[in-house]
Structure 1
């Protein structure tokens, strides 16, 4: 995919006036026409909720497999987070959400680990009334129809990494509530709620987009061979349904036996390959949730099922094929 044309000099100048065209330029990569650049991904999610009309009575569905900052954003907006358990699966699905739809006011759909959450299926389940916020912090080059707003983080380790910040995207202007200093601040009918991304961070966006595009292109070219190699080793990499291709921030590998999970997780080659594992039940144990959130129980899962995913860094696996063979080859 070609990068859309930017300013004539190839760089965004660090002036307040550049923030709006820069955000609009970035919005096209997320399938939207308008954008807003903020101080963090959490702030972007809070702003999305406020623009959708959040109140203290709102109950907002949050998938159990996601970052704790998603829960923090819902709490900061004054709403009630409802943690949707989805057993051994990594993404929120219409099947896991369906029993809990009644009483919900919004849904946050997360492209966790760069895997495509089936937002069109969620939209069919919810109808047109309930808003869906698409969280693309872990994904690049995934645009799903059906979401009311799209948010992302620009922090370290995210799909689009400039070291910090966040963004909000929509099909109508979304930057009206950002706290950018101007004499007009004194005339607001309501206080500004979210701080803008520093103007000094704007020049970092174009190189970050170029890196994200290059990574995505490399993975599109080489991922099929890597997945085939993992299957040849007897492993079971994640496979999804639908037409959207994963962005592969990580490759999830299902381990149906606890012994295999432990061997892969604690292999001497694991660190070099970026191997880690999701923490089961991490959101439900957050102290910030006590008395302020709900957990919507899903299908019961044994310890082996709840801890059955290993996450592998695809670039590390491609760059170190011998380590990959040593890590995985003995576990047929």
Structure 2
């Protein structure tokens, strides 16, 4: 790892100084120049909004098919989450965003389940005024230009997994507001925010990156054949024309027929294959929203998202081909 000297102003303690080279080293994997290591992905998203100039009343687009913590970060930043219905495709699309472009102050583009959200297309639609935050918590090794900041989570089950934490990346320094002790803390004009990742977690990053790289390499080599087998059995795995290769946190399979959903979700082989469904509670129903959020009107929403798709765990499917055939073949 390249060693980069600590900031010239001396505000970082000696035992904190290794954060800077470590975060810069990690940033290169997200095609960014600078990084900041934080206590959670939610904290990283809040910090990204602050750095983009969030103000009370900002309207921030959030795709409906994503984690509730994305909404929590927007609310914590004092902004208004605008839930954009995108359940039919799982990702925020230009078509879903189009009716709301002129009323937005920022957009959060989520690579849900390791699928590539088309950020360049969103950027072309939004123009240069509205910033995009790229949420790569469920993805690894995408290079999609157009976002002002990129955030990720380092929690359990994520492609980059050290058991907890988060990170923020950008092309300008992004670590100024991290809450690390400094001699001038009592004289700050405003409190520091976004707790830093524990320095004891830093040694876990290098092996976690190696694991993420190896995992993604195998999936991109082997999943295409798996998808072909699913299609041969009459199933409809997620696909998009001209999209980068997903990193496949899950393989989503569309279930247009409720009976097909029931057969796949509750098959005797489902547990062994890691089959699950998107969360049953939609973001628009979150109690935390109260009257502080907005559900944007757009393409006809899927009122039953968790029955529109099933999610297949890719390694379980690759490692158990006979069980996969029994699970998928029963649909013919």
Same fold by TM (over 0.5)? yes
Residues 71-110 of structure 1 deviation map (CA, whole Å, 9 limit, x = unaligned) = 0000000111000012412000011001011221000000
Question: Measured at CA, do residues 94 and 236 of structure 1 come closer, stay the same or move farther in structure 2, by a change above 3 Å?
Answer: same
| CA distance in structure 1 between the partners assigned to 2:16 and 2:272 by the alignment | 42
How far is the alpha carbon of 1:223 from its aligned partner?
Answer: 1.4
Query: 2:91 matched to which residue of 1?
Result: 91
How far is the alpha carbon of 1:301 from its aligned partner?
Answer: 4.7
Which runs of 5 or more residues in structure 2 are unaligned? 4-13
Q: How does 1:152-167 map to 2 (within 5 A)?
A: 152-167=152-167
Query: 1:148 matched to which residue of 2?
Result: 148
How far is the alpha carbon of 1:300 from its aligned partner?
Answer: 2.3
| CA distance in structure 1 between the partners assigned to 2:99 and 2:141 by the alignment | 31
| CA distance in structure 2 between the partners assigned to 1:55 and 1:88 by the alignment | 31
Contact preservation (8 Å) 2:154, 2:161: yes
Query: 2:135 matched to which residue of 1?
Result: 135
- Is the partner of 1:75 in helix, strand or coil? helix
How far is the alpha carbon of 1:245 from its aligned partner?
Answer: 1.2
Which runs of 5 or more residues in structure 1 are unaligned? 8-13
Query: 2:327 matched to which residue of 1?
Result: 327
Residues 230-270 of structure 1 deviation map (CA, whole Å, 9 limit, x = unaligned) = 11211111111334111111111111211111000011111
Number of equivalenced pairs:
322
- Is the partner of 1:36 in helix, strand or coil? strand
Query: 2:35 matched to which residue of 1?
Result: 35
Contact preservation (8 Å) 1:27, 1:34: yes
Contact preservation (8 Å) 1:256, 1:305: no
| CA distance in structure 2 between the partners assigned to 1:149 and 1:242 by the alignment | 24
How far is the alpha carbon of 1:154 from its aligned partner?
Answer: 0.4
Query: 2:11 matched to which residue of 1?
Result: none
Moved more, 135-144 or 294-303: 294-303
2:45 is the counterpart of 1:59: no
2:208 is the counterpart of 1:214: no
Query: 2:312 matched to which residue of 1?
Result: 312
- Is the partner of 2:252 in helix, strand or coil? strand
Query: 2:6 matched to which residue of 1?
Result: none
| CA distance in structure 2 between the partners assigned to 1:225 and 1:280 by the alignment | 30
Contact preservation (8 Å) 1:59, 1:103: yes
Query: 1:21 matched to which residue of 2?
Result: 21
Query: 1:11 matched to which residue of 2?
Result: none
Contact preservation (8 Å) 1:257, 1:304: no
Query: 1:75 matched to which residue of 2?
Result: 75
- Is the partner of 1:146 in helix, strand or coil? coil
| CA distance in structure 2 between the partners assigned to 1:35 and 1:28 by the alignment | 9
- Is the partner of 2:310 in helix, strand or coil? strand
Contact preservation (8 Å) 1:87, 1:298: no
Moved more, 65-74 or 85-94: 85-94
Query: 1:120 matched to which residue of 2?
Result: 120
How far is the alpha carbon of 1:143 from its aligned partner?
Answer: 2.1
2:218 is the counterpart of 1:237: no
Query: 1:174 matched to which residue of 2?
Result: 174
- Is the partner of 1:142 in helix, strand or coil? coil
So what's the TM-score if we normalise by structure 1?
0.93
Question: Measured at CA, do residues 304 and 290 of structure 1 come closer, stay the same or move farther in structure 2, by a change above 3 Å?
Answer: closer
Residues 42-98 of structure 1 deviation map (CA, whole Å, 9 limit, x = unaligned) = 000000000000011201000000000000000000111000012412000011001
Contact preservation (8 Å) 1:87, 1:300: no
Contact preservation (8 Å) 1:88, 1:306: no
Say what the alpha-carbon RMSD is for the aligned residues.
Answer: 1.6
Question: Measured at CA, do residues 182 and 300 of structure 1 come closer, stay the same or move farther in structure 2, by a change above 3 Å?
Answer: same
2:290 is the counterpart of 1:290: yes
